[in-house]
Amino acid sequence: MSTRLSFDDGPGPSTPELLNVLRAASCQATFFVLGHNLAQAMDVATQAIREGHVLGNHTYSHARSGTLSDAALSDEIERTDALLREAYRLADVPVPASIPLRLPYGLEPQDVRSDVLARLKRSHTGWTAILDDWCRPPPSPHALAQSMRQHIADGTSRGQDVLFCLHDSSRFAEARPATVEAVRLLLSDPGWQTGPLAIRRCTGQ
């Protein structure tokens, strides 16, 4: 059983503080970044990689399914991969054999984007719970942390691994203070750190 955290849509203004929170709890996560945001925050991405986090591809512009041609989607994925490889080079850390990928809004049944993934031989990383921390306004940090605790408890009772999808920014490069605080609350809960489900074990992959 493992509990893992992933963050989509960054890097953004809240990402450095989120890295502080994760570092304080010795927790590694996966960041599915937007190429558009990454191009303007290579320093933050490089720091995240050096601190043991895994960076994944969330396309360049966060276009909805059906709004890009196959060639344009493929180009967005490859452009973002190139930036990710550059961030790993700057961090002096080997690029993962396969860069994780999560499409904007997730992969839906009969998603037209599946053909592009198949052609690029890329698998898709989903989630077991997506938080509504992307809403305006978002739920309170306490409410977010409480839904995470509940999902972890549900996963534990079913013997299932948990993978959260949270958001550390947006395609408009918004700040996400509620997300950062919710993660801080969850990771500082002594029950989770010392209990059978050690959230400290959350891993990047």
Q: Which residues bind Zn ion (CB under 5 A)?
A: 8-9, 104
Name the residue nearer to Zn ion (CB basis): 68 or 91. Answer: 68
**Residue 104 Cβ, how far from Zn ion at the closest point, in Å?**
5
Strands 129-130 and 162-167: parallel
Sorted by sequence, the CB contacts under 8 Å of residue 139 that are 6+ apart come out as 132, 133, 147, 178
From the CB of 162, what's the least distance to Zn ion, in Å? 19
Cβ at position 134, least distance to Zn ion in Å: 8
CB of 55 closer than 8 Å to CB of 33: yes
Q: Which H helix or E strand runs over 81?
A: helix 70-91
Q: What is the DSSP letter of 15?
A: H
Between 21 and 131, whose beta carbon lies closer to Zn ion?
Answer: 131
CA angle 156, 158, 161 (to 5 degrees): 60
- C-beta nearest to Zn ion: residue: 8
Spatial distance between the Cα atoms of 9 and 57, rounded to a whole number of angstroms: 10
Smallest separation (angstroms) from Zn ion to the CB of 204:
18
Distance CA 55, CA 86 (A): 12
Based on CB atoms, which residue is closest to Zn ion, 53 or 91?
Answer: 53
In the bound state with Zn ion, the residue whose beta carbon lies nearer, of 56 and 104, is 104
Nearer CB in complex with Zn ion: 126/195? 126
**Residue 8 vs 168, nearer CB to Zn ion:** 8
Report CA torsion sign: 107, 110, 111, 114. Answer: positive
CB of 131 to Zn ion, least distance (A): 12
Least distance to Zn ion, CB of residue 63, Å: 11
